[in-house]
Structure 1
Amino acid sequence: MITRRSFIINTSMAATAVLALPSLAFTMNKKEVGLQLYTLRNEISKDVKTTLEKVAAAGFTTVEMYGFSIKEQFWGLSAIELKKVLDANNLKAVSGHYNLGSFLYDGNTAELIAAIEAAKVLKSEFLTIPWIDEPFRKNIEDYKKIASRLNEAAKMCQKAGLKLAYHNHDFEFQKHDGMTGYEILLQETDKDLVFFELDLYWVVRSGNDPIKLFEANQDRFKMWHVKDMDKINPALNTEIGSGSIDFKTIFKEAKHSGMKHFFVEQENNYGGNSFKSIQTSFDFISKNLI
């Protein structure tokens, strides 16, 4: 018989165990493995249906979109048509990369409005900005302008029931008068509205430590790109667990990051078979990281 006293004792012991092992709390709550579909850009541009079927067969349950435009939509499919294919494979598009046309530079909202509508149809949680064109990120004032635009877009997303995120490469970690572009984006954006998708590969490639970023900016990195670095040539990617990035240590700090979703991404170095590559990455993550 479970008495009130024994229930309290057992509950307290369980809570202590979770506190002692932060990775355990993550393992108990985070079971979904996502894929950034840019990984399969050569395949999905030719056959959306078959590609998504293979993504689901590999074990992935969430995906992150890319490639949307007002004219082409998603590889020739409307958001409504794409949602049907995703649903048929039990896949959720929790985020998408949207370039937003010239919005970040001149404030033109046409592409942003279209992206918001597409993300709503897909029932996404995040609308993610993947890139800043080189001419518009040369100094501190440029980054402050971008941060202001991010705040503006985030308010529009919030009204539509979405969250805005920003995805990094390595250029954001270059210094401008003693500050990095990334520091400016973190400081100048509304922490309650603008979130960040941390590309772990690019952080490490830039010479920075993801865990130090978590500690300094707790709860802002709602998503990660999990992309490994080739041991011989750091400019190349490889399957998760085959490269030089210590994902086991990073995943133990997921709670400090605030991470809700993560996506495998591999931009190159597939060894000839991209579907085999994503399966290898999925298997390593499911067995060793979550």
Structure 2
Amino acid sequence: MKFGYQTNTWGGVVGHPAGVTSIKDLFYLTPGSDEEALRDIASAGFTGVELFDGNLVAYRGREDEFRAFLRAGNLSLIAVYSGANFIYDDVLEDEFWRIEEAAKIGETFGAEFLVLGGGAKRHGGPREEDYTKLAQNLDRAAELAQRYGLTALYHPHLGTIVEGPEALEKVMSQSRIGLCPDTAHLAAGGNDVPALIRKYAPRIPYIHLKGLQREPLNFLPLDEDPEMTAIWEAVEEIGFDGWVTVELDAHPDPKAAAARSLRWLQARQAAQPTPAD
């Protein structure tokens, strides 16, 4: 396995304010320093990074600047994170314009994956057709991403119509897209995360690990989550050997939190039995 880190710990998670009146401009953003984030992630010992689409499209016209940040830390860009409502027909074309921009910039910097959140919650609650629309449009996004050499994956998330196991099954059974499980969001949504990893193993080429504190809800470094060991055992059981990215939306000391999570991962790897054992 290879280990990466999401840069959103260095500034948090916001959306571009222009998106309030212009759907096509509603990119995700981390308002911190990308250079600092990549430097700290490399210093902690990670070899890959994931960034929000809005952070990456900001480097249009100055691509060499971001490439220099990657080279300085000997880092690979693993994935671009984007998202959309996916259920409102009238805004789909603008949403797909934005997703295509994310795929284009991902191709520019050599990303492997386009990670997609979404499935809007209506004020009156989800309609059954919303799950079908979401599944169909995720497959459309996967086809779009493929044109730019990226593999698109669905990332279930709190605050969308896909939180619990029944909703996830509705979408996965009606789509072909792969899955990027975010362990904390899935656990908080009522899923048995180890069982889910085993169930969808053939559709999981990339994983987000995030520690969870259930009450009050908070996200943690991996070493603070008592449920993470069982999740990791499931990851090992399915023979996963791709990128694992640690995600932590906020922390008072992002660099130290990243280093702690990597030490936890390395300790799990060191404890894994060899074939001779």
2:183 maps to a residue whose letter is L
How far apart are 1:288 and its partner, in Å? 2.5
User: Could you say what the CA RMSD is over the residues aligned between the two structures, in angstroms?
Assistant: 2.7
Deviations 1:251-285 (A, max 9, x none): 232252756221111124x3x32222112112122
Decide whether the 8 Å contact of 2:12 with 2:32 is kept in 1.
Answer: yes
Pairing 1:39–2:25 present: no
Partner of residue 87 from structure 1, selected from 68, 71, 78: 71
Give the 3 Å change call, closer, same or farther, for CA 198–41 of structure 1 in structure 2. Answer: same
In structure 1, distance between residues paired with 2:146 and 2:40: 33
Pairing 1:114–2:101 present: yes
How far apart are 1:80 and its partner, in Å? 4.7
Aligned length: 246
In structure 1, distance between residues paired with 2:101 and 2:178: 21
Where do 1:211-226 residues align within 5 Å?
211-226=194-209
Q: Which runs of 4+ in 1 moved over 4 A?
A: 75-80
Partner of residue 276 from structure 1, selected from 250, 256, 276: 256
Give the 3 Å change call, closer, same or farther, for CA 132–260 of structure 1 in structure 2. Answer: same
**Greater C-alpha Rg:** 1
Decide whether the 8 Å contact of 2:57 with 2:101 is kept in 1.
Answer: no
Decide whether the 8 Å contact of 1:219 with 1:257 is kept in 2.
Answer: no
Pairing 1:149–2:137 present: yes
In structure 1, distance between residues paired with 2:60 and 2:216: 35
Pairing 1:244–2:226 present: yes
How far apart are 1:52 and its partner, in Å? 1.2
The gaps in structure 1 that reach 5 residues or longer are 1-29
Deviations 1:211-258 (A, max 9, x none): 222333231122222111237x3401222111232x233223225275
In structure 2, distance between residues paired with 1:257 and 1:181: 26
1:286 equivalent in structure 2: 266
Partner of residue 113 from structure 2, selected from 126, 129, 152: 126
2:242 equivalent in structure 1: 260
In structure 2, distance between residues paired with 1:77 and 1:99: 23
Where do 1:178-197 residues align within 5 Å?
180-190=166-176, 194-197=177-180
2:260 maps to a residue whose letter is T
In structure 2, distance between residues paired with 1:259 and 1:195: 16
Decide whether the 8 Å contact of 1:147 with 1:189 is kept in 2.
Answer: yes
How far apart are 1:39 and its partner, in Å? 1.9
1:226 maps to a residue whose letter is L
Identity within the alignment, %: 21
SS at match of 2:130: helix
How far apart are 1:57 and its partner, in Å? 0.5
Deviations 1:61-107 (A, max 9, x none): 111111427xx82478855532331122111111110135x666333
SS at match of 1:154: helix
Decide whether the 8 Å contact of 1:45 with 1:75 is kept in 2.
Answer: no
1:15 equivalent in structure 2: none
How far apart are 1:140 and its partner, in Å? 2.1
In structure 1, distance between residues paired with 2:164 and 2:230: 25
Decide whether the 8 Å contact of 2:53 with 2:82 is kept in 1.
Answer: yes
